[in-house]
Structure 1
Amino acid sequence: MNIIYFKKHLSAKTILLLLIMINSLSSFANIEQKRYQYDLNSNITQQITAKGDQIDYTYDSLNQLIKVSTSDEDTDVEYGYDSEGRITSLKDATGTDLYQYDTLGRLTSYEQAGVAKFYYFYNELNQLTSFKDPLGNWTNYKYNLDGRLITHYDVNGYNSYEYHETTGLLLRHLRYSVTDTAGSYQLNGYTSYSYDTARRLTKVVQTGKDSEDKATTIYSYDGNGNHTKISRQIPGETESATYEYDGLNRITQVVYTGGSRDGQEESYSYDAGGNRLSKVNHNGTTSYEYSSDNRLLKTTAPQGVTNYVYDGGGNMITKTGPVNTFHYQYNSRNLLIGYQDSNNNVSYLYNGAGHRVAKTVNNVTTRYINHINFGLPQVAFETDDKYVVKRYYSYGLGRTAAYDWGALDKDKSQYYLYDRPGRNVTATEDSLGKTRNRYKYGSFGENFSSQESYSNDFRYTGEQTESDSGLIYLRARYYDPEIGRFISRDPFSGYMSVPESQNMYAYAHNNPLKFVDPSGECVETLWDVLNVIYDLGKISNGYISGNQYAVSAGYTDLGADLFALAIPGLPAGITKLRGINGFTKSVKPSLSDHKKALKKVQQEVGALPKGKLGKFGSPQAGDRKKGYRLDPPHNGAAKGSAESKYHINWWDYTNGKRGKGGRSGAVSIDD
């Protein structure tokens, strides 16, 4: 669904109705394969999954979920809450995670499994200004008057961002590396961005520290926003790919010109359900066969036949090909917990929030310490089995750099270069600006070529690639780019109004040049739809990654669904929608309510120019000295206060700062 259409043509009442419908569909999708029991308060107390696993839910007197018990005890979870209904503890087999908040409901500290603690700090506009990591390192962020990130620095380097004065689109990202233990910086290179009049990215130029162009990528589009041509030039090679689509905007034809793929072509066909029926390339034709519920059963390729087997929950458990056989295992929440083939024995460990916290490959364990304050969980550190830090990651506008801990030199640091903000890693470079790794991908993320002198897991769409299996970890599920689909069912049941979302295995509507699915649950544009439905559910706790331009977007991308996402397999509507940051759903006040509140505000500050977008894209008038801004409810605000409802914040600092002659306040919109 087109997001602009959604905003223009649906009323608040219709959106609320759709919200109810979506929750209903999510709760009862595939009901013929699941059974539920409820208590007198309509809380789900027991669920029998399609695989036959039993999940029990326990609540306190306030109907807050306090325990989830599963068939495999390793996935049991217990929850603790504060007086505002925010989660303060999450206990599972990996340990206990702890959460603390300030009076505004902002996350101020997070401790993972009792071994790693982060501290978060904010400005008066609720933007994350700094955090302290478990090793005592500080990361700092600075914003311009429009709320966009302009600088980010930590022990690994310094990043600055420049934006168009009118459109706010990102124009340039400058990267500075650390040159010595005293923390000196030098310019490592920069990336420039150009756009067309429709605000679509048309050109990306990656320039080295000596002003030489290291890579240039040019994008062309059709009227539906699909990429029709992508041209990329690197030293010694220029390659272009042209694309064609069917009436449902699915990729059907790719033609390469120049470079190592010169003259190669690919074509794809699909059935009515969005399943790929054939792929034709220079190697020959691969055909695909499916069950009635869209499970891939068989592929026939020039290299031979591959057969696939699934469990009752729709998870792929066996993949038998001409050369190798993979056996996959899942827990009761349908998270992949391991696989074996002829060469590897791999296991994965998740905490109660569904975040991956460890991976063991042939008895060698890597643990992950995660950021949880960036929208989706992101890896902060990689450690060994005893929690000794091995690698550290930096985040600004997405993941910017990594280095091997304890070895800050040109051989151990790497800086990520993307084909466009937040998408595919095409190269990495060291602190001297020398290219260390290069990557090329197929249309669906297949590894066409990779040249590495520095180990790196973050590649296609900037996510972790499992080098032994080729799978890509997308949090709720794993994606197999070789078949262009997920290996397990989508825990999110999709939208009836978006037919493409009804296929529980297809990736990115078969158009991964345009769409991504970082959560493994819904593609990027569906996330946008959810954001509109929940309409600024709460000011975000400094969300500064994963969005191409709106860094520290003041309203969370996940809105009220954060709680459901934090507990994989938990049906929507199972209890009051309260999440890690205390998000709740609210009914929006009417236009007349807004006008009444605005009159009260104007009595305080006087009339101001209208129409300016304020912090986080919210409607605002005035400037930092004197003005007002529309805000959603603040969880953590005193019950019954203006800030606990939809409200307008106002300020007048013409006679001094706050507390020294300056005035500020809030007016409830629905009073």
Structure 2
Amino acid sequence: MTRRTYADGRVVDTTYTADGQVAEERETLGATVRSTTRTYDAAGRLASIAYPDAIRLDFQYDAAGNRTAVTTTTASGDATVTYAYDELNRMAAVARGAEVHQYAYDAAGQLTRLTRPNSTSTDYGYDVRVRAASLADRGPGGAALWQVQYGTDASGRRTSAQESGPGWFRTLSYQYDPLGRLVQETLTDGAPSGQRVSTWSYDAVGNRLVEDVRRGTSVARVDSTYDDNDRLLGETGTGPAVTYSYDAAGQLLARTDGAGTSTFSYDAAHRLVAATTPTTSVAYSYDPDGLRQSQTVDGVTTRFVTDPTFEHAQVIAEVAADGSETHYTYGLTRLARHRGGASAYLHSDALGSLRAATSSAGTLAERWNYHAFGTVDSHVDDAGQAVPLTGADAHSFLFAGEQYSPSLNLYYLRARHYAPAIGRFTQADTYRGRDREPLTLHRYGYAHGDPITGRDPSGMTTLNETSAVELTISNVVSVARTTKNLIAAVKAARIASRGISQIVSGTNRDMLGQAMRYVQALEGTAAERADLFSQLAQQISSLSGGSWSAVRIFGADGSHIFADTFGESLVVSRAGELFRGSLATPGHFTIGPGGVLQPVCSALRVVGGVL
């Protein structure tokens, strides 16, 4: 595909390198032309991205294909993060200047400790099924900062969390219905008013009918109504009534409550581009890949610099309207925020939610607690005093590690926005689900109704965090090398049939993060798997052209990835090995009988009917 034309008049022209990789994307809207260019190294790995506003990303790799450095260039200069790996290609250290984070693993390859530059550390514990069982954050002298013990049922659902820190404790218990949807959260924290008990009930298709939150004599109840397309129409209860309206595509257009009306607008690619509330106006812009590029709140713009090479693209820098910059260091997770000459070190729970930030001296600066579906319960400083979620120094990446907009009370999950107050997305999923997996049929649901053990970083696919060994991309790449013949000779070219218009190579570094999404959500019968592999094999056999290490498949409109896959026609007969679990989704696999690695999946999420 060389040109995309949108209903709003926007035109995106794409040019390619000789071996078929994207070289330039030129976006034209009226008299405005914006060009983003990419270069690649001799191995076909992404070497640089240059954006139209002179911001640039450069990448370096070692001989094994591990990414060893990322340099962000902005008006203020260069900021480089470097990576080191052990003999098994597991990430061992992450450095930004003199600030070094270090990882340690046990004999089974499980992450056991993270040590930060400020001498704080996190120890990770696992149960007998290698699921997250504990986290313990300690200060420079070994004193406890924050710790949690998790309980998990046989299905992998988190049933309890016992949290504590200096001067405080929280015990949470969770109950689920037979479909695995959260129906009760009980919080015990020593408050004089007693326990807080939150309950939820659902209709036959998964819409939340009632939310009831009780603590002592306090009762907060919300009753919700829906139309035949599962769109939330109204809320009544102990608070002001709320009404909602939508466009024909199922996108939220307006929300009206006692404070007034909030409105939402979308572009031709179904991305939220503007919103107004009774007190605030917000606008968003996106790059040609569909990733959020800027946010303007009441006329003040922040530019987001996004690294697209992660499994899910991540913001690695922010440039404010006044020119000040914020940079983030990433390792296996988001590790630190650097702003105004000061570093804040980030401490997350097993779901990825930000729970604490420590200073360069290793002292606790802030901590966060959350209600089940992501609403912030409390945000306090080291003295236990409440801190607002807004302000010049506020943290943006909160529940499940995702980017939060306090102006709209929404989380940006790339393809869509999530509203924690109602526990659902504001737009319908483009994937219509499978009859044999009823939970996938709900197009607004978040994490299949289980926000305690599931998350949806893409806005399209639920990932279960506690039913998997939480390893790293580098762990999985090291496993992949045992079957490198499956990958080494991938043939790729454009495919005109079945709605697939373009295939773009990935890199060794995110080989599985990108390619294995095709198998990420495999579960069910052997027949289903065989059918899927048959379709995959047909596509593999039709490939021709340059030899790449991985492929990424885009949809006919080129606006987003429909699915990713890899393979080689010479190994089509090895379908059983591929789908029985010799490889798995990065960071999400379990140890099966005989020590075989098995994928942990929830639903086949090939969006747009490509397959």
User: Does TM, normalized by the shorter one, top 0.5?
Assistant: yes
Please tell me the residue identity of whatever aligns with 2:347: L
Cα–Cα, structure 1 residues 274 and 332, in superposed 2: closer, same or farther, change >3 Å?
same
Please tell me the residue identity of whatever aligns with 1:504: R
> 1:150-299 counterparts in 2 under 5 A?
150-155=92-97, 157-165=99-107, 167-177=108-118, 187=119, 189-260=120-191, 262-282=194-214, 283-299=219-235
Please tell me the residue identity of whatever aligns with 2:326: R
Specify the alignment match of 1:589 in structure 2: 571
SS of alignment partner, residue 273 of structure 1: coil
Q: Of 474, 484, 487, which residue of structure 1 is paired with 2:413?
A: 474
List per-residue Cα deviations over 1:123-143 (Å, max 9, x = no partner): 121111112221323221111
Q: How big is the shift at 1:495?
A: 3.7
Cα–Cα, structure 1 residues 556 and 613, in superposed 2: closer, same or farther, change >3 Å?
closer
| Bigger RCO (CA 8 Å, 6+ sep) | 1
Structure 1 distance, partners of 2:273, 2:27, is 16
Specify the alignment match of 1:382 in structure 2: 318
SS of alignment partner, residue 136 of structure 1: strand
Specify the alignment match of 1:82 in structure 2: 17
Please tell me the residue identity of whatever aligns with 1:295: R
Q: Does 1:417 align with 2:417?
A: no
Q: How big is the shift at 1:429?
A: 1.3
- Please, which moves more after superposition, 283-292 or 513-522? 283-292
Instruction: Tell me the matched-pair count.
Output: 499
Specify the alignment match of 2:430 in structure 1: 491
Please tell me the residue identity of whatever aligns with 1:210: G
List per-residue Cα deviations over 1:172-193 (Å, max 9, x = no partner): 000004xxxxxxxxx2x00001
SS of alignment partner, residue 461 of structure 1: helix
Asked if the contact 1:68/1:77 (under 8 Å) is kept, the reply is: yes
SS of alignment partner, residue 501 of structure 1: helix
Asked if the contact 2:235/2:242 (under 8 Å) is kept, the reply is: yes
> 1:98-117 counterparts in 2 under 5 A?
98-117=37-56
Structure 2 distance, partners of 1:356, 1:510, is 26
Structure 2 distance, partners of 1:439, 1:525, is 22
> 1:360-371 counterparts in 2 under 5 A?
360-371=296-307
Specify the alignment match of 1:139 in structure 2: 81
Structure 2 distance, partners of 1:309, 1:516, is 26
Asked if the contact 1:127/1:554 (under 8 Å) is kept, the reply is: no
Q: Of 20, 23, 26, which residue of structure 2 is paired with 1:91?
A: 26
Asked if the contact 1:413/1:430 (under 8 Å) is kept, the reply is: yes
Specify the alignment match of 2:243 in structure 1: 307
Q: Does 1:122 align with 2:71?
A: no
Cα–Cα, structure 1 residues 572 and 381, in superposed 2: closer, same or farther, change >3 Å?
closer
Q: How big is the shift at 1:313?
A: 0.9
Structure 2 distance, partners of 1:570, 1:518, is 15
Specify the alignment match of 1:449 in structure 2: 378
Q: Does 1:396 align with 2:396?
A: no
Q: TM-score, normalised by structure 2?
A: 0.76
Q: How big is the shift at 1:525?
A: 5.0
> 1:17-36 counterparts in 2 under 5 A?
none
Please tell me the residue identity of whatever aligns with 1:477: R
Specify the alignment match of 2:496 in structure 1: none
Please tell me the residue identity of whatever aligns with 2:554: A
Q: How big is the shift at 1:565?
A: 7.7
Cα–Cα, structure 1 residues 313 and 378, in superposed 2: closer, same or farther, change >3 Å?
same
Cα–Cα, structure 1 residues 593 and 416, in superposed 2: closer, same or farther, change >3 Å?
closer
Structure 2 distance, partners of 1:470, 1:593, is 45
Please tell me the residue identity of whatever aligns with 2:157: N
Please tell me the residue identity of whatever aligns with 1:248: L
Specify the alignment match of 2:507 in structure 1: 541
List per-residue Cα deviations over 1:241-292 (Å, max 9, x = no partner): 1111111111111111124584110111111211111111122321111111
List per-residue Cα deviations over 1:62-108 (Å, max 9, x = no partner): xxx1111111124x322111122211111225721111112322111
Please tell me the residue identity of whatever aligns with 1:232: E
Which runs of no fewer than 5 residues in structure 1 stay unpaired?
A: 1-64, 178-186, 545-551, 578-582, 596-610, 618-671
Structure 2 distance, partners of 1:142, 1:509, is 37
List per-residue Cα deviations over 1:549-572 (Å, max 9, x = no partner): xxx967645468844389776695
Asked if the contact 1:354/1:568 (under 8 Å) is kept, the reply is: no
List per-residue Cα deviations over 1:353-381 (Å, max 9, x = no partner): 10101100111110111112222221121
Structure 2 distance, partners of 1:567, 1:213, is 52
- Please, which moves more after superposition, 278-287 or 469-478? 278-287
- Please, which moves more after superposition, 351-360 or 94-103? 94-103
Q: Of 539, 554, 567, which residue of structure 2 is paired with 1:564?
A: 554
Deviation beyond 6 Å, 4+ runs, structure 1: 535-539, 565-568, 592-595, 611-614
Structure 2 distance, partners of 1:356, 1:385, is 16
Cα–Cα, structure 1 residues 363 and 100, in superposed 2: closer, same or farther, change >3 Å?
same
Structure 2 distance, partners of 1:215, 1:439, is 11
- Please, which moves more after superposition, 278-287 or 555-564? 555-564
SS of alignment partner, residue 68 of structure 1: strand
Q: Of 407, 426, 446, which residue of structure 2 is paired with 1:507?
A: 446
SS of alignment partner, residue 176 of structure 1: coil
Specify the alignment match of 1:521 in structure 2: 460
Cα–Cα, structure 1 residues 460 and 543, in superposed 2: closer, same or farther, change >3 Å?
farther
Asked if the contact 1:491/1:569 (under 8 Å) is kept, the reply is: no
Please tell me the residue identity of whatever aligns with 1:501: T
Structure 2 distance, partners of 1:593, 1:71, is 42
Asked if the contact 1:152/1:160 (under 8 Å) is kept, the reply is: yes
Specify the alignment match of 2:472 in structure 1: none
SS of alignment partner, residue 23 of structure 2: strand
Please tell me the residue identity of whatever aligns with 1:203: S
Specify the alignment match of 1:434 in structure 2: 363
Q: Does 1:333 align with 2:269?
A: yes
Please tell me the residue identity of whatever aligns with 1:217: V
Q: How big is the shift at 1:414?
A: 0.9
Structure 2 distance, partners of 1:566, 1:158, is 43
Specify the alignment match of 2:523 in structure 1: none
Asked if the contact 2:506/2:551 (under 8 Å) is kept, the reply is: no
Please tell me the residue identity of whatever aligns with 1:479: Y
Structure 2 distance, partners of 1:316, 1:103, is 46
Asked if the contact 1:492/1:522 (under 8 Å) is kept, the reply is: no
Structure 2 distance, partners of 1:156, 1:250, is 46
Structure 2 distance, partners of 1:385, 1:363, is 10
Q: TM-score, normalised by structure 1?
A: 0.69
Asked if the contact 1:330/1:337 (under 8 Å) is kept, the reply is: yes
Structure 1 distance, partners of 2:296, 2:513, is 37
Pairwise CA RMSD: 3.2
Please tell me the residue identity of whatever aligns with 1:470: N
Structure 1 distance, partners of 2:138, 2:156, is 27
Which runs of no fewer than 5 residues in structure 2 stay unpaired?
A: 381-386, 469-475, 481-485, 491-504, 519-549, 588-611
Asked if the contact 2:319/2:325 (under 8 Å) is kept, the reply is: yes
Structure 2 distance, partners of 1:313, 1:91, is 28
Structure 2 distance, partners of 1:151, 1:513, is 30
Identity %: 26
